[in-house]
Amino acid sequence: MIELAPILSPNTTGSNEFIELHCRQELPFTEKESLERLNQRLPGGLIINSCDRIPTFASSICELATHAHWSWPIDESLISKESIMNRIKDFATSSKLMLSSMQGKESTCDLKVIVHDLMITGEALVWSTAFTDAHSPNPLRAIAQVLNIDSSQIEGLKRTSLTLSEDLRLKQSDKFSRKLKNIYEDATILDGDSSITVHNDDDDYISLG
């Protein structure tokens, strides 16, 4: 199974993206060979820069991603830099800015919680968006509302990178490796109707059956 994570919104592009490749069995070649084989099969315009194997108990990219970073080449036929600067000031001084609901319902998504570090750098407008448990709005809609323009007119929006938190599961690799070993060893002695609970003093309960 191949998963692009977190998924890009329609009409946006990305660089420095992550793809998670889940294999049913151990691949019989090295990371370097995996990289070469994958790149040979990709459509034009795509390239995989690096490839690493991670333990099965590692957290997914979606679980680790905290912020996405965006860049939009300013189209002054759509909105001038001066107007953008005024919008940035208005946004910074506002107490909240609720995302407009497409269904006409009352919105619960405050863009002040989502959109951060909004600024002009050279000819581009850059900012970050936070991944929250409650909301992950379309970045086109979010920035369009901040700038008070139509989202359908925004072209060239790119996600330049992701910020990932530290994977605490990897720091507890001994615990997870031992737990998986117990599951494997005990599963081999189970028949279809058996049920067993495995417990170590410093582990969570694991129920099999």
Q: How many angstroms separate the CA atoms of 20 and 3, rounded?
A: 5
Look up residue 183 and give its amino acid: I
pTM: 0.76
Q: How many angstroms separate the CA atoms of 179 and 166, rounded?
A: 21
- Do residues 158 and 12 make contact, with C-beta atoms less than 8 angstroms apart? yes
Q: How many angstroms separate the CA atoms of 88 and 200, rounded?
A: 54
- Domains of the chain, residue spans: 2-164, 172-208
Round to the nearest angstrom and report the end-to-end CA distance of the chain.
Answer: 26
pLDDT for 195 beyond 80: no
Determine the pLDDT at residue 116. 96
- Do residues 97 and 112 make contact, with C-beta atoms less than 8 angstroms apart? yes
- Tens-digit pLDDT profile for residues 11-63: 999 988 888 888 888 888 888 898 899 899 888 878 888 888 888 888 888 89
Q: What is the DSSP string of 5-72?
A: ESPPPTT-EESS-EEEE--SS--SS-HHHHHHHHHHTSPTT----------TTSPPHHHHEEEEEEEE
